[in-house]
Chains A and B, each alone.
Chain A
Amino acid sequence: MVLPALLLELSVPALSVSARLVTAWAVFQGLLLEALPFLLLGVSIAALARWLAPGGRWLQRLPRHPLLGPLTGAALGFALPACECGNVPVARRLLAGGAPLGTALGFLFAAPVLNPIVLASTWAAFPNQPWLLAARPLGALAVALVLASLLRLLPEAELLVPEVLAERRLSQPLSAVGLLERRSGLVGLPAAPAGLAAPAPAAPGAAVSARPPLAEVLEHGGREFLDLAALLVLGCAIAALVQTLLPRSWLLAVGGAPTLSILSLMALAVVVSVCSSVDAFLALGFAAQVTPGALLAFLVLGPVVDLKLVGLFGVLLRPRAIALTVAGASLAVLLIGQWVNLLRL
Protein backbone atom coordinates (compact mmCIF):
# COMPACT_ATOMS: atom_id res chain seq x y z
CA MET A 1 0.00 0.00 0.00
CA VAL A 2 2.82 2.35 0.91
CA LEU A 3 5.05 1.53 -2.06
CA PRO A 4 2.61 2.52 -4.81
CA ALA A 5 2.00 5.81 -3.02
CA LEU A 6 5.71 6.49 -2.90
CA LEU A 7 6.13 5.59 -6.56
CA LEU A 8 3.25 7.88 -7.41
CA GLU A 9 4.98 10.61 -5.46
CA LEU A 10 8.14 10.12 -7.49
CA SER A 11 6.19 10.25 -10.71
CA VAL A 12 4.93 13.80 -10.10
CA PRO A 13 7.53 15.38 -12.33
CA ALA A 14 6.16 18.87 -12.81
CA LEU A 15 8.69 20.52 -10.57
CA SER A 16 12.19 21.10 -11.83
CA VAL A 17 15.21 21.21 -9.61
CA SER A 18 15.44 24.97 -10.06
CA ALA A 19 11.81 25.41 -8.93
CA ARG A 20 12.56 23.32 -5.85
CA LEU A 21 15.65 25.39 -5.09
CA VAL A 22 13.64 28.61 -5.41
CA THR A 23 11.11 27.16 -2.97
CA ALA A 24 13.89 26.00 -0.63
CA TRP A 25 15.23 29.58 -0.67
CA ALA A 26 11.84 30.84 0.50
CA VAL A 27 11.59 28.17 3.21
CA PHE A 28 15.10 29.08 4.33
CA GLN A 29 14.10 32.73 4.67
CA GLY A 30 10.95 31.77 6.56
CA LEU A 31 12.87 29.66 9.05
CA LEU A 32 15.60 32.24 9.47
CA LEU A 33 13.30 35.24 9.93
CA GLU A 34 11.21 33.34 12.44
CA ALA A 35 14.23 32.16 14.46
CA LEU A 36 16.38 35.32 14.50
CA PRO A 37 14.13 37.29 16.90
CA PHE A 38 14.13 34.38 19.36
CA LEU A 39 17.90 34.15 19.08
CA LEU A 40 18.17 37.86 19.81
CA LEU A 41 15.85 37.43 22.79
CA GLY A 42 18.02 34.64 24.19
CA VAL A 43 21.24 36.62 23.67
CA SER A 44 19.62 39.67 25.32
CA ILE A 45 18.57 37.62 28.36
CA ALA A 46 22.09 36.20 28.61
CA ALA A 47 23.67 39.66 28.28
CA LEU A 48 21.31 41.11 30.86
CA ALA A 49 22.14 38.30 33.28
CA ARG A 50 25.83 38.95 32.70
CA TRP A 51 25.38 42.63 33.43
CA LEU A 52 23.09 42.26 36.44
CA ALA A 53 24.94 39.35 38.05
CA PRO A 54 28.49 39.68 36.75
CA GLY A 55 30.14 37.31 39.19
CA GLY A 56 27.52 34.65 38.54
CA ARG A 57 27.62 33.73 42.22
CA TRP A 58 23.96 32.80 42.25
CA LEU A 59 24.65 30.41 39.40
CA GLN A 60 27.19 28.57 41.50
CA ARG A 61 24.68 28.20 44.30
CA LEU A 62 22.31 26.21 42.11
CA PRO A 63 22.00 22.57 43.19
CA ARG A 64 24.66 20.11 42.08
CA HIS A 65 22.66 17.02 42.94
CA PRO A 66 22.41 14.70 39.91
CA LEU A 67 18.60 14.71 40.10
CA LEU A 68 17.84 18.07 41.70
CA GLY A 69 20.24 19.92 39.39
CA PRO A 70 18.54 19.05 36.08
CA LEU A 71 15.12 19.49 37.71
CA THR A 72 16.08 23.01 38.83
CA GLY A 73 17.45 23.78 35.37
CA ALA A 74 14.24 22.56 33.79
CA ALA A 75 12.20 24.71 36.17
CA LEU A 76 14.20 27.77 35.07
CA GLY A 77 12.30 27.48 31.80
CA PHE A 78 9.29 28.99 33.54
CA ALA A 79 11.33 32.08 34.38
CA LEU A 80 13.02 32.37 31.00
CA PRO A 81 10.43 31.50 28.41
CA ALA A 82 12.31 31.19 25.15
CA CYS A 83 12.16 28.56 22.45
CA GLU A 84 15.11 26.31 21.70
CA CYS A 85 17.05 28.90 19.67
CA GLY A 86 16.86 31.45 22.47
CA ASN A 87 17.74 28.83 25.04
CA VAL A 88 21.19 28.13 23.64
CA PRO A 89 22.73 31.52 24.52
CA VAL A 90 21.08 31.42 27.96
CA ALA A 91 22.43 27.91 28.59
CA ARG A 92 25.82 29.11 27.42
CA ARG A 93 25.71 31.92 29.98
CA LEU A 94 24.77 29.42 32.68
CA LEU A 95 27.70 27.17 31.79
CA ALA A 96 30.18 30.02 31.35
CA GLY A 97 29.03 31.54 34.63
CA GLY A 98 29.91 28.36 36.50
CA ALA A 99 26.43 26.87 37.01
CA PRO A 100 26.49 23.17 37.88
CA LEU A 101 26.64 21.08 34.74
CA GLY A 102 23.44 19.16 35.46
CA THR A 103 21.46 22.35 36.05
CA ALA A 104 22.65 23.99 32.85
CA LEU A 105 22.02 20.86 30.80
CA GLY A 106 18.60 20.39 32.40
CA PHE A 107 17.76 23.93 31.32
CA LEU A 108 19.15 23.44 27.81
CA PHE A 109 17.17 20.30 27.10
CA ALA A 110 13.94 20.72 29.09
CA ALA A 111 13.24 24.45 29.15
CA PRO A 112 12.20 24.62 25.46
CA VAL A 113 9.15 22.57 26.50
CA LEU A 114 8.77 23.44 30.17
CA ASN A 115 7.84 27.05 29.69
CA PRO A 116 4.46 28.75 29.80
CA ILE A 117 4.32 29.67 26.11
CA VAL A 118 4.92 26.12 24.89
CA LEU A 119 2.56 24.55 27.41
CA ALA A 120 -0.16 27.04 26.49
CA SER A 121 0.27 26.36 22.78
CA THR A 122 0.09 22.60 23.42
CA TRP A 123 -3.11 23.14 25.38
CA ALA A 124 -4.52 25.33 22.58
CA ALA A 125 -3.69 22.74 19.93
CA PHE A 126 -4.87 19.66 21.83
CA PRO A 127 -7.55 20.73 24.32
CA ASN A 128 -9.28 17.38 23.95
CA GLN A 129 -6.17 15.30 24.69
CA PRO A 130 -5.34 16.00 28.34
CA TRP A 131 -2.90 13.07 28.48
CA LEU A 132 -0.70 14.93 26.01
CA LEU A 133 -0.60 18.02 28.20
CA ALA A 134 0.90 15.93 30.99
CA ALA A 135 2.97 13.61 28.82
CA ARG A 136 4.80 16.32 26.88
CA PRO A 137 6.41 18.11 29.85
CA LEU A 138 7.01 14.81 31.62
CA GLY A 139 8.62 13.37 28.49
CA ALA A 140 10.80 16.47 28.10
CA LEU A 141 11.83 16.20 31.73
CA ALA A 142 12.70 12.52 31.34
CA VAL A 143 14.78 13.19 28.23
CA ALA A 144 16.58 16.07 29.97
CA LEU A 145 17.37 13.85 32.96
CA VAL A 146 18.69 11.09 30.69
CA LEU A 147 20.83 13.51 28.69
CA ALA A 148 22.15 15.33 31.75
CA SER A 149 23.12 12.01 33.35
CA LEU A 150 24.69 10.78 30.12
CA LEU A 151 26.70 13.91 29.39
CA ARG A 152 27.94 14.18 32.96
CA LEU A 153 29.84 10.97 32.31
CA LEU A 154 32.16 12.94 30.03
CA PRO A 155 34.88 15.08 31.61
CA GLU A 156 34.08 18.76 31.14
CA ALA A 157 37.07 19.17 28.85
CA GLU A 158 35.56 16.61 26.48
CA LEU A 159 32.06 17.98 26.82
CA LEU A 160 32.34 21.73 26.43
CA VAL A 161 34.00 23.72 23.66
CA PRO A 162 37.28 25.34 24.77
CA GLU A 163 35.86 28.89 24.80
CA VAL A 164 33.04 28.02 27.21
CA LEU A 165 35.36 25.89 29.29
CA ALA A 166 37.88 28.72 29.62
CA GLU A 167 35.23 31.19 30.73
CA ARG A 168 33.73 28.62 33.07
CA ARG A 169 37.09 28.04 34.74
CA LEU A 170 37.27 31.73 35.58
CA SER A 171 34.07 31.38 37.58
CA GLN A 172 35.11 28.29 39.48
CA PRO A 173 37.28 28.03 42.58
CA LEU A 174 40.82 26.85 41.94
CA SER A 175 40.09 23.69 43.86
CA ALA A 176 37.53 22.71 41.24
CA VAL A 177 40.02 22.97 38.39
CA GLY A 178 42.68 20.35 37.81
CA LEU A 179 46.25 21.59 37.57
CA LEU A 180 46.58 20.56 33.94
CA GLU A 181 43.26 22.18 33.07
CA ARG A 182 44.25 25.58 34.43
CA ARG A 183 44.98 28.10 31.76
CA SER A 184 46.33 30.70 34.13
CA GLY A 185 47.83 31.06 37.51
CA LEU A 186 50.50 28.66 38.66
CA VAL A 187 50.22 26.34 35.67
CA GLY A 188 49.32 27.33 32.14
CA LEU A 189 49.15 30.51 30.16
CA PRO A 190 48.11 33.93 31.27
CA ALA A 191 44.34 34.15 31.17
CA ALA A 192 43.37 35.21 27.67
CA PRO A 193 40.55 32.97 26.58
CA ALA A 194 39.94 33.20 22.87
CA GLY A 195 36.69 32.96 21.06
CA LEU A 196 33.37 33.59 22.64
CA ALA A 197 34.79 34.00 26.09
CA ALA A 198 35.27 37.66 26.70
CA PRO A 199 38.60 38.42 28.26
CA ALA A 200 38.09 38.78 31.96
CA PRO A 201 40.71 40.48 34.04
CA ALA A 202 40.42 38.25 37.06
CA ALA A 203 42.40 35.14 37.84
CA PRO A 204 40.53 31.86 38.28
CA GLY A 205 38.64 31.68 41.46
CA ALA A 206 38.80 35.36 42.15
CA ALA A 207 35.49 36.93 42.90
CA VAL A 208 34.37 38.93 39.90
CA SER A 209 31.69 41.09 41.34
CA ALA A 210 32.16 44.45 39.64
CA ARG A 211 29.49 45.16 37.07
CA PRO A 212 31.12 45.19 33.62
CA PRO A 213 30.86 48.36 31.57
CA LEU A 214 27.90 48.46 29.21
CA ALA A 215 30.28 48.66 26.25
CA GLU A 216 31.81 45.31 27.21
CA VAL A 217 28.41 43.68 27.65
CA LEU A 218 27.33 45.03 24.28
CA GLU A 219 30.52 43.81 22.65
CA HIS A 220 30.12 40.35 24.14
CA GLY A 221 26.42 40.15 23.22
CA GLY A 222 27.09 41.32 19.67
CA ARG A 223 29.78 38.72 19.15
CA GLU A 224 27.58 36.01 20.57
CA PHE A 225 24.64 36.98 18.37
CA LEU A 226 26.77 36.98 15.23
CA ASP A 227 28.36 33.62 16.09
CA LEU A 228 24.98 32.03 16.66
CA ALA A 229 23.40 33.72 13.63
CA ALA A 230 26.07 32.20 11.40
CA LEU A 231 25.29 28.73 12.75
CA LEU A 232 21.59 29.37 12.44
CA VAL A 233 22.06 30.25 8.76
CA LEU A 234 23.74 26.90 8.22
CA GLY A 235 21.06 24.97 10.12
CA CYS A 236 18.19 26.72 8.34
CA ALA A 237 19.80 26.08 4.96
CA ILE A 238 20.11 22.35 5.63
CA ALA A 239 16.57 22.13 7.05
CA ALA A 240 15.09 24.03 4.10
CA LEU A 241 16.86 21.88 1.52
CA VAL A 242 15.96 18.60 3.18
CA GLN A 243 12.32 19.42 3.68
CA THR A 244 11.86 20.80 0.17
CA LEU A 245 13.52 17.84 -1.52
CA LEU A 246 12.14 15.08 0.73
CA PRO A 247 8.37 14.56 0.41
CA ARG A 248 6.83 14.75 3.84
CA SER A 249 4.41 11.96 3.01
CA TRP A 250 7.41 9.60 2.95
CA LEU A 251 7.84 10.31 6.63
CA LEU A 252 4.14 9.97 7.37
CA ALA A 253 3.55 6.94 5.15
CA VAL A 254 4.00 4.51 8.02
CA GLY A 255 1.71 6.41 10.35
CA GLY A 256 -0.19 3.39 11.69
CA ALA A 257 2.74 1.10 12.49
CA PRO A 258 3.67 1.50 16.18
CA THR A 259 7.47 1.58 15.99
CA LEU A 260 7.87 2.88 12.46
CA SER A 261 5.45 5.70 13.12
CA ILE A 262 7.54 6.84 16.08
CA LEU A 263 10.73 6.69 14.04
CA SER A 264 9.17 8.54 11.13
CA LEU A 265 7.77 11.31 13.32
CA MET A 266 11.14 11.63 15.06
CA ALA A 267 12.74 12.08 11.64
CA LEU A 268 10.07 14.64 10.75
CA ALA A 269 10.73 16.61 13.95
CA VAL A 270 14.44 16.72 13.16
CA VAL A 271 13.86 17.81 9.56
CA VAL A 272 11.09 20.37 10.04
CA SER A 273 12.98 22.35 12.70
CA VAL A 274 10.08 24.59 13.73
CA CYS A 275 10.08 26.52 16.97
CA SER A 276 8.82 24.63 20.05
CA SER A 277 6.24 27.34 20.72
CA VAL A 278 4.29 26.42 17.58
CA ASP A 279 5.17 22.80 16.83
CA ALA A 280 1.99 21.59 18.57
CA PHE A 281 -0.10 23.35 15.93
CA LEU A 282 1.93 21.69 13.22
CA ALA A 283 1.44 18.31 14.90
CA LEU A 284 -2.29 18.95 14.92
CA GLY A 285 -2.21 18.65 11.13
CA PHE A 286 -1.25 14.98 11.19
CA ALA A 287 -2.28 13.93 14.70
CA ALA A 288 -5.12 11.80 13.35
CA GLN A 289 -2.82 9.86 11.00
CA VAL A 290 -0.22 8.70 13.51
CA THR A 291 -0.03 6.69 16.72
CA PRO A 292 -0.16 8.54 20.09
CA GLY A 293 3.43 7.53 20.83
CA ALA A 294 4.57 9.00 17.53
CA LEU A 295 2.73 12.24 18.21
CA LEU A 296 4.41 12.55 21.60
CA ALA A 297 7.80 11.66 20.08
CA PHE A 298 7.42 14.54 17.62
CA LEU A 299 6.57 16.99 20.39
CA VAL A 300 9.35 15.86 22.73
CA LEU A 301 12.25 15.33 20.34
CA GLY A 302 11.88 18.45 18.17
CA PRO A 303 12.73 20.95 20.92
CA VAL A 304 15.86 18.97 21.85
CA VAL A 305 17.28 17.92 18.49
CA ASP A 306 16.66 19.31 15.03
CA LEU A 307 18.73 20.27 12.02
CA LYS A 308 18.57 23.97 12.86
CA LEU A 309 19.62 23.35 16.45
CA VAL A 310 22.50 20.96 15.95
CA GLY A 311 24.58 23.79 14.47
CA LEU A 312 23.79 26.04 17.44
CA PHE A 313 24.93 23.34 19.88
CA GLY A 314 28.38 23.85 18.33
CA VAL A 315 28.91 26.95 20.51
CA LEU A 316 28.44 24.85 23.65
CA LEU A 317 29.28 21.24 23.10
CA ARG A 318 32.06 19.35 21.40
CA PRO A 319 31.13 17.14 18.41
CA ARG A 320 31.31 13.97 20.49
CA ALA A 321 28.94 15.43 23.06
CA ILE A 322 26.56 16.56 20.30
CA ALA A 323 26.59 13.03 18.86
CA LEU A 324 25.88 11.63 22.32
CA THR A 325 23.03 14.11 22.75
CA VAL A 326 21.46 13.14 19.44
CA ALA A 327 21.80 9.41 20.13
CA GLY A 328 20.65 9.63 23.76
CA ALA A 329 17.66 11.85 23.00
CA SER A 330 16.59 9.67 20.08
CA LEU A 331 16.78 6.47 22.11
CA ALA A 332 14.96 7.98 25.09
CA VAL A 333 12.21 9.41 22.89
CA LEU A 334 11.82 6.11 21.04
CA LEU A 335 11.37 4.28 24.33
CA ILE A 336 8.90 6.87 25.64
CA GLY A 337 6.93 6.63 22.40
CA GLN A 338 6.85 2.84 22.56
CA TRP A 339 5.66 2.95 26.14
CA VAL A 340 2.89 5.39 25.30
CA ASN A 341 1.80 3.21 22.38
CA LEU A 342 1.67 0.20 24.68
CA LEU A 343 -0.56 2.10 27.08
CA ARG A 344 -2.83 3.82 24.59
CA LEU A 345 -3.13 1.57 21.54
Chain B
Amino acid sequence: MEIGLRTLGLALWGAVLLQSSLAGRLDLLLRADFHPLVWGSGVLLLGLALLDLGLTLSGRRARSGRPVAGERRRQLVWLLAAAAAVAVLALPPNPSFANLAANRPSEQLEEPELSFVLPPAERSLTDWVRLLRSQPDPALHDGDPVRISGFVLPQPGDRPQLARLLVRCCLADATPVGLAVRWPPGRQPRADQWLELQGVMGVERHADQLRNVVIPRRITPIRRPARPLEP
Protein backbone atom coordinates (compact mmCIF):
# COMPACT_ATOMS: atom_id res chain seq x y z
CA MET B 1 0.00 0.00 0.00
CA GLU B 2 2.72 2.47 1.05
CA ILE B 3 4.82 1.72 -2.02
CA GLY B 4 1.90 2.44 -4.33
CA LEU B 5 1.05 5.62 -2.47
CA ARG B 6 4.63 6.80 -2.55
CA THR B 7 4.93 6.26 -6.29
CA LEU B 8 1.57 7.92 -6.83
CA GLY B 9 2.52 10.87 -4.60
CA LEU B 10 5.85 11.49 -6.34
CA ALA B 11 4.18 11.23 -9.76
CA LEU B 12 1.36 13.58 -8.73
CA TRP B 13 3.67 16.30 -7.43
CA GLY B 14 5.84 15.91 -10.51
CA ALA B 15 2.74 16.30 -12.67
CA VAL B 16 1.72 19.41 -10.72
CA LEU B 17 5.06 21.09 -11.35
CA LEU B 18 5.29 20.05 -14.97
CA GLN B 19 1.69 20.83 -15.84
CA SER B 20 1.97 24.26 -14.21
CA SER B 21 4.94 24.95 -16.47
CA LEU B 22 3.41 23.59 -19.67
CA ALA B 23 0.01 25.23 -19.16
CA GLY B 24 1.56 28.66 -18.68
CA ARG B 25 0.34 28.97 -15.10
CA LEU B 26 3.77 29.94 -13.88
CA ASP B 27 3.56 33.19 -15.84
CA LEU B 28 0.71 34.14 -13.53
CA LEU B 29 2.31 32.92 -10.32
CA LEU B 30 6.10 33.16 -10.34
CA ARG B 31 8.88 35.36 -11.59
CA ALA B 32 10.39 33.97 -14.78
CA ASP B 33 13.77 33.25 -13.13
CA PHE B 34 12.16 30.42 -11.16
CA HIS B 35 10.40 28.71 -14.07
CA PRO B 36 13.28 26.37 -15.09
CA LEU B 37 13.63 25.30 -11.46
CA VAL B 38 9.95 24.32 -11.38
CA TRP B 39 9.80 22.33 -14.59
CA GLY B 40 13.18 20.74 -13.87
CA SER B 41 11.90 19.58 -10.50
CA GLY B 42 8.74 18.26 -12.16
CA VAL B 43 10.77 16.16 -14.58
CA LEU B 44 12.96 14.91 -11.74
CA LEU B 45 9.97 13.90 -9.61
CA LEU B 46 8.33 12.06 -12.50
CA GLY B 47 11.63 10.28 -13.16
CA LEU B 48 11.86 9.29 -9.50
CA ALA B 49 8.29 8.01 -9.57
CA LEU B 50 9.07 5.87 -12.63
CA LEU B 51 12.24 4.55 -10.98
CA ASP B 52 10.29 3.77 -7.82
CA LEU B 53 7.68 1.90 -9.85
CA GLY B 54 10.36 0.02 -11.77
CA LEU B 55 12.09 -1.08 -8.58
CA THR B 56 8.82 -2.28 -7.13
CA LEU B 57 7.74 -4.18 -10.24
CA SER B 58 11.14 -5.79 -10.64
CA GLY B 59 10.79 -7.26 -7.16
CA ARG B 60 14.01 -5.68 -5.91
CA ARG B 61 12.18 -4.15 -3.01
CA ALA B 62 10.58 -6.05 -0.16
CA ARG B 63 6.86 -5.53 0.15
CA SER B 64 5.81 -4.15 3.49
CA GLY B 65 3.47 -6.09 5.70
CA ARG B 66 0.38 -4.74 7.39
CA PRO B 67 0.89 -1.06 8.23
CA VAL B 68 1.26 -0.16 11.88
CA ALA B 69 -0.66 2.77 13.38
CA GLY B 70 2.05 5.37 12.63
CA GLU B 71 2.26 4.22 9.04
CA ARG B 72 -1.52 4.46 8.61
CA ARG B 73 -1.41 8.04 9.82
CA ARG B 74 1.38 8.79 7.38
CA GLN B 75 -0.57 7.24 4.52
CA LEU B 76 -3.59 9.32 5.43
CA VAL B 77 -1.44 12.48 5.39
CA TRP B 78 -0.03 11.50 1.99
CA LEU B 79 -3.57 10.93 0.70
CA LEU B 80 -4.65 14.38 1.89
CA ALA B 81 -1.60 15.96 0.27
CA ALA B 82 -2.33 14.00 -2.93
CA ALA B 83 -5.88 15.39 -2.84
CA ALA B 84 -4.36 18.89 -2.63
CA ALA B 85 -2.14 18.07 -5.61
CA VAL B 86 -5.17 16.90 -7.61
CA ALA B 87 -6.98 20.12 -6.67
CA VAL B 88 -4.01 22.19 -7.89
CA LEU B 89 -4.07 20.23 -11.16
CA ALA B 90 -7.81 20.65 -11.59
CA LEU B 91 -8.35 24.23 -10.44
CA PRO B 92 -6.13 26.76 -12.21
CA PRO B 93 -5.42 30.03 -10.41
CA ASN B 94 -7.49 33.03 -11.32
CA PRO B 95 -6.52 35.78 -8.88
CA SER B 96 -8.08 39.20 -8.62
CA PHE B 97 -5.13 41.53 -9.08
CA ALA B 98 -7.14 44.39 -7.60
CA ASN B 99 -7.80 42.27 -4.53
CA LEU B 100 -4.12 41.47 -4.13
CA ALA B 101 -3.07 45.06 -4.71
CA ALA B 102 -5.67 46.48 -2.31
CA ASN B 103 -3.99 44.58 0.50
CA ARG B 104 -0.52 45.86 -0.23
CA PRO B 105 1.30 49.16 -0.18
CA SER B 106 2.73 50.51 -3.42
CA GLU B 107 6.16 49.42 -4.47
CA GLN B 108 8.98 51.90 -3.89
CA LEU B 109 10.79 51.47 -7.17
CA GLU B 110 14.52 51.83 -7.53
CA GLU B 111 16.24 54.46 -9.65
CA PRO B 112 15.52 54.44 -13.39
CA GLU B 113 17.65 52.38 -15.70
CA LEU B 114 18.59 52.53 -19.35
CA SER B 115 15.03 51.88 -20.52
CA PHE B 116 14.32 55.58 -20.07
CA VAL B 117 16.04 56.37 -23.29
CA LEU B 118 12.87 54.93 -24.80
CA PRO B 119 10.52 57.43 -26.42
CA PRO B 120 7.60 58.29 -24.09
CA ALA B 121 5.02 56.39 -26.14
CA GLU B 122 7.03 53.18 -25.77
CA ARG B 123 7.39 53.32 -21.99
CA SER B 124 5.51 50.70 -20.04
CA LEU B 125 3.42 51.62 -17.02
CA THR B 126 6.26 50.52 -14.74
CA ASP B 127 8.77 52.65 -16.68
CA TRP B 128 6.50 55.65 -16.24
CA VAL B 129 6.14 55.09 -12.49
CA ARG B 130 9.90 54.79 -12.11
CA LEU B 131 10.47 57.92 -14.12
CA LEU B 132 7.91 60.00 -12.26
CA ARG B 133 9.34 58.89 -8.94
CA SER B 134 12.87 59.83 -9.93
CA GLN B 135 11.90 63.16 -11.55
CA PRO B 136 9.16 64.45 -9.32
CA ASP B 137 8.53 67.71 -11.22
CA PRO B 138 5.21 66.92 -12.98
CA ALA B 139 5.67 69.74 -15.50
CA LEU B 140 8.62 67.90 -17.08
CA HIS B 141 6.33 65.33 -18.68
CA ASP B 142 3.29 67.44 -19.37
CA GLY B 143 1.98 66.62 -22.84
CA ASP B 144 4.15 63.53 -23.43
CA PRO B 145 2.39 60.79 -25.38
CA VAL B 146 1.39 57.75 -23.32
CA ARG B 147 0.55 54.21 -24.36
CA ILE B 148 0.26 51.82 -21.44
CA SER B 149 -1.69 48.77 -20.36
CA GLY B 150 -2.66 47.47 -16.94
CA PHE B 151 -5.54 46.51 -14.70
CA VAL B 152 -7.97 48.86 -12.99
CA LEU B 153 -7.13 49.32 -9.32
CA PRO B 154 -9.73 51.13 -7.18
CA GLN B 155 -8.29 53.73 -4.80
CA PRO B 156 -10.04 54.74 -1.59
CA GLY B 157 -10.92 58.44 -1.87
CA ASP B 158 -9.55 58.84 -5.39
CA ARG B 159 -10.24 57.81 -8.97
CA PRO B 160 -9.23 54.26 -9.94
CA GLN B 161 -5.65 53.91 -11.14
CA LEU B 162 -4.24 51.82 -13.94
CA ALA B 163 -1.80 49.46 -12.28
CA ARG B 164 0.59 46.56 -12.66
CA LEU B 165 1.88 44.03 -10.14
CA LEU B 166 5.61 43.69 -9.57
CA VAL B 167 6.88 40.35 -8.40
CA ARG B 168 10.25 39.52 -6.85
CA CYS B 169 9.54 35.85 -6.26
CA CYS B 170 5.92 34.73 -6.43
CA LEU B 171 2.43 36.13 -6.20
CA ALA B 172 2.77 36.20 -2.42
CA ASP B 173 5.14 39.17 -2.63
CA ALA B 174 3.43 40.99 -5.51
CA THR B 175 3.17 44.73 -4.95
CA PRO B 176 1.32 47.24 -7.11
CA VAL B 177 2.55 50.26 -9.02
CA GLY B 178 -0.07 52.54 -10.52
CA LEU B 179 -0.69 55.77 -12.40
CA ALA B 180 -3.51 58.23 -11.83
CA VAL B 181 -5.94 58.39 -14.75
CA ARG B 182 -8.44 61.11 -15.59
CA TRP B 183 -11.24 58.85 -16.80
CA PRO B 184 -13.72 60.35 -19.29
CA PRO B 185 -16.85 61.75 -17.59
CA GLY B 186 -19.41 59.06 -16.90
CA ARG B 187 -16.98 56.22 -17.40
CA GLN B 188 -16.39 54.14 -14.29
CA PRO B 189 -13.98 51.30 -15.10
CA ARG B 190 -14.55 47.99 -13.39
CA ALA B 191 -11.98 46.77 -10.86
CA ASP B 192 -9.59 44.18 -12.31
CA GLN B 193 -10.53 45.04 -15.90
CA TRP B 194 -7.49 45.07 -18.22
CA LEU B 195 -7.24 48.16 -20.40
CA GLU B 196 -4.88 49.73 -22.87
CA LEU B 197 -4.78 53.50 -22.71
CA GLN B 198 -3.51 55.85 -25.39
CA GLY B 199 -3.37 59.53 -24.61
CA VAL B 200 -1.08 62.12 -23.07
CA MET B 201 0.45 62.79 -19.69
CA GLY B 202 -1.13 65.77 -17.95
CA VAL B 203 -0.79 67.58 -14.66
CA GLU B 204 -3.44 68.05 -12.00
CA ARG B 205 -3.69 69.19 -8.41
CA HIS B 206 -4.49 66.44 -5.91
CA ALA B 207 -4.42 66.76 -2.12
CA ASP B 208 -2.79 70.21 -2.46
CA GLN B 209 0.02 68.85 -4.61
CA LEU B 210 0.68 68.71 -8.31
CA ARG B 211 0.87 65.25 -9.82
CA ASN B 212 0.98 63.66 -13.24
CA VAL B 213 -2.18 62.09 -14.57
CA VAL B 214 -2.82 60.07 -17.71
CA ILE B 215 -5.45 61.71 -19.91
CA PRO B 216 -6.67 58.92 -22.17
CA ARG B 217 -7.83 59.65 -25.71
CA ARG B 218 -8.53 56.02 -26.46
CA ILE B 219 -9.43 53.24 -24.02
CA THR B 220 -9.35 49.66 -25.28
CA PRO B 221 -10.39 46.68 -23.16
CA ILE B 222 -7.83 43.89 -23.56
CA ARG B 223 -7.45 40.35 -22.27
CA ARG B 224 -5.15 39.75 -19.33
CA PRO B 225 -1.67 39.34 -20.88
CA ALA B 226 -0.12 35.89 -20.84
CA ARG B 227 2.63 37.34 -18.64
CA PRO B 228 0.83 39.89 -16.49
CA LEU B 229 3.49 40.20 -13.78
CA GLU B 230 6.42 42.57 -14.13
CA PRO B 231 9.87 41.93 -12.66
Determine the residue in chain A with the shortest Cβ distance to B7. Answer: A222
**Residue pair A30, B55 in contact (C-beta under 8 Å):** no
The yes or no answer to B32 lying at the interface (CB within 8 A) is no
The yes or no answer to A40 lying at the interface (CB within 8 A) is yes
**Residue pair A227, B74 in contact (C-beta under 8 Å):** yes
**Residue pair A272, B172 in contact (C-beta under 8 Å):** yes
With A15-B99, A32-B88, A37-B17 as known contacts, state yes or no: A274 contacts B78, CB within 8 Å.
Answer: no
**Residue pair A246, B103 in contact (C-beta under 8 Å):** yes
**Residue pair A26, B93 in contact (C-beta under 8 Å):** yes
Q: Mark B146-181, 1 if CB is under 8 A from A, else 0.
A: 000000001011000000001011111101000000
Which residues of the other chain, A, contact B157 by a CB distance below 8 angstroms?
Answer: 8
How many whole Å from A10's CB to the nearest CB in chain B?
Answer: 10
Tell me the complex Cα distance, A216–B80, Å.
25
The yes or no answer to A247 lying at the interface (CB within 8 A) is yes
Tell me the complex Cα distance, A219–B60, Å.
12
**Residue pair B169, A286 in contact (C-beta under 8 Å):** no
Tell me the complex Cα distance, A129–B171, Å.
27
- A window 12-54: CB within 8 A of B: 12, 14-15, 19-20, 22-23, 25-27, 29-34, 36-37, 40-41
How many whole Å from A33's CB to the nearest CB in chain B?
Answer: 6
**Residue pair A194, B70 in contact (C-beta under 8 Å):** yes
The yes or no answer to B20 lying at the interface (CB within 8 A) is yes
With A23-B100, A26-B93, A29-B25 as known contacts, state yes or no: A215 contacts B154, CB within 8 Å.
Answer: no
Which residues of the other chain, B, contact A230 by a CB distance below 8 angstroms?
Answer: 77-78, 80-81
Tell me the complex Cα distance, A275–B38, Å.
14
With A36-B17, A226-B6, A285-B108 as known contacts, state yes or no: A243 contacts B172, CB within 8 Å.
Answer: yes
Tell me the complex Cα distance, A252–B99, Å.
18
**Residue pair B37, A274 in contact (C-beta under 8 Å):** no
The yes or no answer to A132 lying at the interface (CB within 8 A) is no
Which residues of the other chain, A, contact B6 by a CB distance below 8 angstroms?
Answer: 219, 222-223, 226
- B window 23-45: CB within 8 A of A: 25-26, 28-30, 34, 37-38, 40-41, 44-45
The yes or no answer to A187 lying at the interface (CB within 8 A) is no
Which residues of the other chain, A, contact B172 by a CB distance below 8 angstroms?
Answer: 27, 30-31, 34, 239-240, 243, 272-274
Q: List 7 A-B contacts (CB under 8 A).
A: A30-B29, A31-B170, A223-B6, A240-B172, A243-B103, A244-B100, A289-B108
Other 11 A-B pairs with CB < 8 A, given A8-B156, A275-B169: A8-B157, A12-B102, A14-B154, A27-B95, A30-B29, A227-B74, A230-B78, A233-B84, A243-B172, A249-B104, A284-B110
- Chain B residues with CB under 8 Å of chain A are 6, 9-10, 13, 16-17, 20, 25-26, 28-30, 34, 37-38, 40-41, 44-45, 48, 51-52, 55, 60-61, 68, 70-71, 74, 77-78, 80-81, 84, 88, 91, 93-96, 98-100, 102-105, 107-108, 110, 154, 156-157, 166, 168-173, 175, 191
- Chain A residues with CB under 8 Å of chain B are 8-9, 11-12, 14-15, 19-20, 22-23, 25-27, 29-34, 36-37, 40-41, 194-195, 215, 218-219, 221-223, 225-227, 229-230, 233, 239-240, 243-244, 246-249, 252, 272-275, 278-279, 281-282, 284-289
